[in-house]
Structure 1
Amino acid sequence: MAPMVSIFAHERSTTHDVTNQPPPLVPYDASEDTALLEGLRREGAGWAEEGIRRLGLRAGSAQAQEWAELANRHEPELRTHDRYGNRVDEVEFHPSWHHLMRVAVGEGLAGAPWADGRPGAHVARTAGGLVWGQTDAGHGCPTSMTYAAIPALRRQPELAKVYEPLLTGREYDPELRVPSEKRGLLAGMGMTEKQGGSDVRTNTTAATPTAEPGVYTLRGHKWFTSAPMCDLFLVLAQAPDGLSCFLVPRVLPDGSRNTFRIQRLKDKLGNRSNASSEPEFDGTVAWLVGPEGQGVKTIIEMVNCTRLDCVMMSATLMRRTLVEAGHHVRHRRAFGARLVDQPLMRNVLADLALESEAATTLSLRLAAAADRAVRGDTDEAAFRRIATAVGKYWVTKRGPAFTAEALECLGGNGYVEESGMPRHYREAPLLSIWEGSGNVNALDVLRALRRESGSAQALFAELALARGADARLDAAVTRLKDQVAQTSEAGARRLVELMALTLQASLLVRHAPPAVADAFCATRLGGDWGHAFGTLPDTADLDTVLARALPDGA
């Protein structure tokens, strides 16, 4: 009888063969993106293309994708004390986190552009983020903050002299040691508190001067401080003359631990590979950065940099999920045909492709403005000031809806964790919250329009470069000029949305193929569009749009 049981068991285990499932999307080339490569060359960083292509192959490799999966599965853990009861306040990460960080820092995605004299260095970094960010978004947080900390730190030249060479280096050194003795540094920031959030002027953390000039002690708390294992933090606190910016090292020059008590790690919706914490300061030693009372003014350059990265990471998530959706529908059949050959699915994919290209193109244009502003171009600085806030508002708002639609292209396969799509979906809302929610950014745009006359002029000068190329765009610019003169606070979101769409349309009209620009203008500006992705008009050239966005067989 034993052989009969064996036969029956075998029959039960082979009820079907696995068919009609796409192969794994590994390996793939994350730099195989025509809009990205064209923008890299156009915005002055063509010299970086070979490195971007190499990084794209690495990002899409089985090894890098496994690092990303493991770093999110094995989340960081807080260790407040050592075995003897000493307070240590350390966060332990899975080795995969360190692998991701080592590549990111080594490829110049942290502070490296500030030490690179080549025009386009900041564009090259953004392009690298658009590619390498297709692994894991969480480790982009400390690299972004390190990048953003440098212009703020330069407000205190004696501190910048000590720390900038290590912040701009390409060596990842995760050990907690005296910063000046390390091979490379990472910087974080501690701005918000429980009672205020974005309203940092309500901060209660107190900064008390010591006998040593420029040195203070802090007492208070921070509500949302990401990457607590960074070496240095820029922190806002109330000094005698008002809200001020301070540099807080984790380890003091004498080798002792600074007081940086991590109360807990946040249990977040997404971004789970990255640790976000609530630190307490009690006699914490800090160095003043910039004048007392000018904390917000000191960190404003940091805000411009991190907002650029919010746009970049949203564009990265769009591209990654578009590639996932495209891969699935090319290999999946339903109702007698490949999904990619079915008209309605092609409409959805093409609509997503338009959104993705517009986001990528705007990201690189903003990076170019940052690059030129650093090199003294005042017109580009004025454009950067308003356009970065506009892009931060709009592109990050589009991210969650985009990733949801891309996930839906996979059907039930996209709803399970194994696909990776739920991780991307949970990541998307963060970018519209971090560095100022939608309202904060919309109001910041209004503030720029009312207080900085050069901002509006710079924006309309950029839009004028496409004048006469598309009647729908010209009409939208006219409407925008009227709205700028009339908009109240309550209408700020409507105004900023129109700004973003006209800016994206002008870039596509100037730089993308006619099929892409026409479809974008018809839908986003001309009103020939529904309320969901996949409602492009019958006149749209879907084949050209898809061939550009997904060149390998779409």
Structure 2
Amino acid sequence: MTKPSFATHEVFNQSPPFEDVDLFTADEPLVDAVAANGGADAAKELSDFGRHWGSAAMAARGRLANENTPKLKTFDSRGNRRDEVEFHPSYHELMAHSAHAGVHNSTWTADGKPAGAPSEVVRAAKFYMAAQVETGHLCPITMTRASVAALASQPDLLAKTMPVIAQRAYDPTFAPWWTKRGMTLGMGMTEKQGGTDVRANMTRAERTADGYRLTGHKWFMSAPMCDAFLVLAQAEGGLTCFFMPRFAPDGSVNALQFQRLKDKLGNRSNASSEVEFVGAYALPVGEEGKGIRTIIQMVQLTRQDCAIASAGLMRSGLAHALHHARHRSVFQKHLADQLLMQAVLADMALHVEASVALVMQVCRAFDRAPQEPGEATYMRLLTPAIKYWVCKSAPPFLYEAMECLGGNGYVEEGILARHYRESPVNAIWEGSGNVMCLDVLRALAREAEAALAVLRELSAETQGLSGAGEAVAFIGKTFRRPDSERVARIAVEKLALLAAAAALNRVAPRQAELFAATRLAANHTGMYGSVEFTNDDIRALLERALP
């Protein structure tokens, strides 16, 4: 009997996998942005990182960590409460590789002080590349890094924890943090009834002989496998920040009872949980009643990472789309040679160029803020504006990238479907779009003269660019309106676009002119490819995007 055969066709005209590439040197806009912001000497370190993270092995780890999602193990086999979260080995491998590269701690010295320039820029470049491979594991990575800023409010606690945080090692064992060779930290702020309004939190903190005991809940507790968490609770003096370890000082499992893991749209490799505190042991971080002031030091850094990650996701979408278009033939020629596809890809490439230039410039401001007041103001004013624009632009961008691959972009076997599902979270986490706009308004109100100086600087850096003068005038006029909150989204987006044009002008002046002409002098449409570039500009944009 003849066996049925399914070999009815030869597989051809399919793009090869986009892997085993150097994610740094293959990205000329990233190389230029890092150099322009003080990180040129780190080029070899970043190329080594880019080759490793651009490998087929790392791509496989990213896929496996998302296909095999974390599981909550509330009890052990004997009925003891454990509240452990189990992960696929690939997730732990991703965490280990990020930790080994210092993505979780390299912006700090061994004693928890800012490491100084260009540590923020170099670390951001690594974070940007890692996000292109697997973004979920970066949640505990970014929170661990950012937690040091909050712990600085409690020097004795920082002195105890920093020797473990400072290790370039990842230790996944479920054990007290002080026994481990490396630790991670998470965060728990929001409650059911409050959400963004953390002043409505009802978790109570009662002082005891050895610290505090917390009773209450968190509706979102990010990365519940971490060794400790920074949480907000109501103490006698008001809303206060606390350090809550997984294990109490006597080595017993602390009274954090995880109710369930969130079933999220994306970010599926990373666990997010609902948790009850049943008299959980905790230590104060900063003064009682100053919890928001303490935690905002951490949130400023996590917001920065939201923007970097979103820019990285868009970069990956562009690279995969362009790679596919150069290999896929349609109507007897490659997609990349079709005029309409060139217009789409070039417009997308311009958006990514501006995004990476902008996030690297704000990272430069983070580097220099401790010594330069102007950079500190830029950081405070522009971080929420940048998070707003970059994070909100990622989902539609990644949809366009998926469409460039056609049906192959829509299936889960490719990375773009995962990127698309991942992309909305960065606009939601650490303050939604409206919260970012309100934060810009607060910065303007509190530091009016300093903010005006930043706007003057942006005006000088964009002088001669199409539409820049009009944008400066519009921003100044709109923010002075008595109902500025009503039109804050318009003004904040324009502010981010102006800052992007200024940042790009320092890196690639011709691209900055194109960006200004299509985003400041004219309202960019909701569809990529709806602007007209010259053939020379298209070639330059696409060659810079992916040689």
One of 315, 323, 329 as aligned partner of 2:311: 315
1:178 CA drift (Å): 2.1
What SS does the aligned partner of 1:361 have? helix
One of 238, 243, 247 as aligned partner of 2:234: 238
Q: Within 5 Å, give how 1:103-114 maps onto structure 2.
A: 103-114=97-108
Match of 1:198, as an amino acid?
A: T
CA distance in 1, matches of 2:89, 2:449: 48
What SS does the aligned partner of 1:22 have? coil
Percent identical residues: 48
CA distance in 2, matches of 1:450, 1:257: 46
The alignment's TM-score, normalised by the length of structure 1, stands at 0.95
CA distance in 1, matches of 2:207, 2:450: 38
One of 155, 179, 187 as aligned partner of 1:189: 187
One of 375, 384, 388 as aligned partner of 2:383: 388
Runs of 4+ residues over 6 Å off in structure 1: none
1:435 CA drift (Å): 0.2
CA contact (8 A) 1:393 1:438 kept: yes
What SS does the aligned partner of 2:107 have? helix
CA distance in 1, matches of 2:247, 2:457: 46
Q: 1:346 maps to what in 2?
A: 342
CA distance in 2, matches of 1:346, 1:455: 42
Instruction: Pick which of 79-88 and 246-255 moved more.
Output: 246-255
One of 174, 177, 189 as aligned partner of 1:176: 174
CA distance in 2, matches of 1:277, 1:209: 26
Is 1:436 matched up with 2:434? no
CA distance in 1, matches of 2:66, 2:396: 22
Q: 2:56 maps to what in 1?
A: 62
Cα 1:528/1:177, change in 2 over 3 Å: closer
CA distance in 2, matches of 1:199, 1:71: 33
CA contact (8 A) 2:343 2:531 kept: yes
Match of 2:324, as an amino acid?
A: H
CA contact (8 A) 2:358 2:500 kept: yes
Q: 2:295 maps to what in 1?
A: 299
CA contact (8 A) 1:522 1:528 kept: no
1:538 CA drift (Å): 4.4
1:223 CA drift (Å): 0.6
Match of 1:263, as an amino acid?
A: Q
Cα 1:445/1:528, change in 2 over 3 Å: closer
CA contact (8 A) 1:528 1:537 kept: no
CA contact (8 A) 2:165 2:182 kept: yes
Q: 1:93 maps to what in 2?
A: 87
Cα 1:352/1:107, change in 2 over 3 Å: same
CA distance in 2, matches of 1:520, 1:432: 23
The alignment's TM-score, normalised by the length of structure 2, stands at 0.96
1:453 CA drift (Å): 2.1
Deviations 1:92-127 (A, max 9, x none): 000000100001011010022111745211111101
Deviations 1:346-381 (A, max 9, x none): 0100111011111111111111111112x3322211
Cα 1:173/1:381, change in 2 over 3 Å: same
Q: 1:535 maps to what in 2?
A: 530
Q: 2:496 maps to what in 1?
A: 500
One of 505, 509, 526 as aligned partner of 2:505: 509
One of 233, 256, 261 as aligned partner of 1:260: 256
One of 18, 35, 48 as aligned partner of 1:25: 18
Is 1:83 matched up with 2:81? no
Q: 2:35 maps to what in 1?
A: 41
CA contact (8 A) 1:203 1:238 kept: yes
Q: Within 5 Å, give how 1:434-513 maps onto structure 2.
A: 434-486=429-481, 488-513=484-509
Structure 2 alignment gaps of length 5 or more: none
CA contact (8 A) 1:528 1:536 kept: no
Cα 1:138/1:286, change in 2 over 3 Å: same
CA contact (8 A) 1:123 1:367 kept: yes
1:544 CA drift (Å): 1.4
CA contact (8 A) 2:466 2:521 kept: no
What SS does the aligned partner of 1:356 have? helix
CA distance in 2, matches of 1:529, 1:122: 31
CA contact (8 A) 2:116 2:368 kept: no
Q: RMSD across aligned C-alpha pairs, in angstroms?
A: 1.4
Is 1:273 matched up with 2:288? no
CA distance in 1, matches of 2:274, 2:122: 34
Q: 1:378 maps to what in 2?
A: 373
1:539 CA drift (Å): 4.5
Match of 2:425, as an amino acid?
A: L
1:185 CA drift (Å): 1.1
CA distance in 2, matches of 1:311, 1:366: 10
Q: Within 5 Å, give how 1:90-169 maps onto structure 2.
A: 90-115=84-109, 117=115, 119-169=117-167
Deviations 1:251-290 (A, max 9, x none): 1222111111010000000000000011110111111111
Q: 1:211 maps to what in 2?
A: 209
Cα 1:162/1:454, change in 2 over 3 Å: farther
Instruction: Pick which of 38-47 and 304-313 moved more.
Output: 38-47
What SS does the aligned partner of 2:467 have? helix
Q: 2:199 maps to what in 1?
A: 201
1:454 CA drift (Å): 4.7
What SS does the aligned partner of 1:460 have? helix
Q: 1:284 maps to what in 2?
A: 280
Structure 1 alignment gaps of length 5 or more: none
CA contact (8 A) 1:448 1:455 kept: no
What SS does the aligned partner of 2:38 have? coil
1:490 CA drift (Å): 1.2
CA distance in 2, matches of 1:469, 1:108: 40
Cα 1:52/1:293, change in 2 over 3 Å: same
Q: 1:333 maps to what in 2?
A: 329
What SS does the aligned partner of 1:112 have? coil
What SS does the aligned partner of 2:108 have? helix
1:518 CA drift (Å): 2.2
1:467 CA drift (Å): 4.4
What SS does the aligned partner of 1:80 have? strand
Deviations 1:60-83 (A, max 9, x none): 111100000000000001000000
